């Protein structure tokens, strides 16, 4: 097993254990605070019309409140496709999402039209851990890394403060975030110098 994979799996285990200790009440209050930070980030949202969200699973931050906080924006949600690919679909209200076989809430292609990723201005990404340098550690399936490979818009990682490190193990093909948001606010990442 290569060194980066070992470091990634170790950090994934540590973060999962840390997240398991967070109460449902804390997740809910932090989710609302984080959604409010995003909605108040006027500089970030200026000129942003279409925003990619995700439906929270396990102990992830839920951003469904953004539908109410930013009613003028269009929101798209990812749909898992074969080959660990994502497509994004326009969803006017988060309550329209339906649970798939793994109980993950997803858009319905028959109801929610697919939006080309080139039409999305900002994608808010989940992750197990993020680095202040923009690095992101996902769950290991590579869905977001593939989807964001040619994405030209802004990428914002959403996480609890305890999920944010100086840097997290990453490879060249891993998507880097332009901004992070936590309970403390929204801030720009600072890439490390090579």
Q: Give the 3-state secondary structure of residue 106.
A: strand
Cα 84 to Cα 81: distance, rounded to the nearest angstrom: 6
Q: Domains along the chain?
A: 3-188 (3.40.50.10420)
Q: Give the 3-state secondary structure of residue 30.
A: helix
- Phi-psi label, residue 86: left if phi above 0, alpha if psi -120 to 50, beta otherwise: beta
**pLDDT interval class at 142 (50, 70, 90):** confident
The answer to whether residue 184 scores a pLDDT higher than 80 is yes
Average pLDDT over residues 134-152: 89
The proportion of the chain whose per-residue pLDDT surpasses 70, expressed as a percent, equals: 96
The answer to whether residue 194 scores a pLDDT higher than 70 is no
Is there a contact between 105 and 55 (Cβ–Cβ < 8 Å)?
A: yes
- Nearest Cα neighbor of 156 from 121, 115, 183 is 121
* pTM, to two decimals: 0.91
The predicted-structure confidence for 67-113, as pLDDT tens digits, reads as follows: 999 999 999 999 988 888 899 999 999 999 998 877 889 999 999 99
The predicted-structure confidence for 123-140, as pLDDT tens digits, reads as follows: 999 999 999 999 999 887
| pLDDT for position 104 | 83
| pLDDT for position 156 | 98
Average pLDDT over residues 132-158: 91
Our CA angle for 188, 38, 182, nearest 5°, is 65
| pLDDT for position 170 | 86
| pLDDT for position 102 | 75
| Residues comprising the chain, all counted | 194
DSSP state of 46: T
Mean pLDDT over the full length of the chain: 91
**pLDDT interval class at 1 (50, 70, 90):** very low
């Amino acid at each position: 097993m290569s060194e980066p994979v070992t470091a990634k799996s170790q950090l994934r285990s540590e973060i999962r254990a840390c997240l398991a200790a967070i109460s449902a009440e804390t997740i809910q209050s932090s989710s609302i605070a984080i959604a409010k930070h995003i909605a108040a980030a006027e500089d970030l949202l200026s000129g942003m019309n279409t925003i990619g969200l995700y439906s929270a699973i396990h102990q992830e931050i839920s951003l469904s409140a953004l539908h109410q906080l930013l009613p003028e924006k269009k929101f798209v949600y990812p749909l898992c496709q074969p080959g660990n690919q994502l497509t994004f679909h326009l969803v006017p209200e988060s309550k329209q999402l339906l649970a798939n076989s793994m109980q993950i809430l997803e858009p319905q292609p028959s109801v929610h039209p697919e939006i080309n990723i080139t039409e999305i201005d900002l994608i808010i990404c989940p992750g197990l851990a993020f680095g202040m340098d923009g690095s992101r550690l996902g769950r290991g399936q590579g869905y977001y890394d593939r989807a964001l490979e040619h994405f030209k818009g802004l990428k914002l990682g959403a996480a609890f403060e305890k999920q944010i490190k100086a840097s997290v193990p990453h490879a060249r093909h891993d998507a880097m975030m332009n901004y992070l948001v936590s309970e403390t606010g929204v801030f720009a990442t600072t890439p490390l110098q090579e």
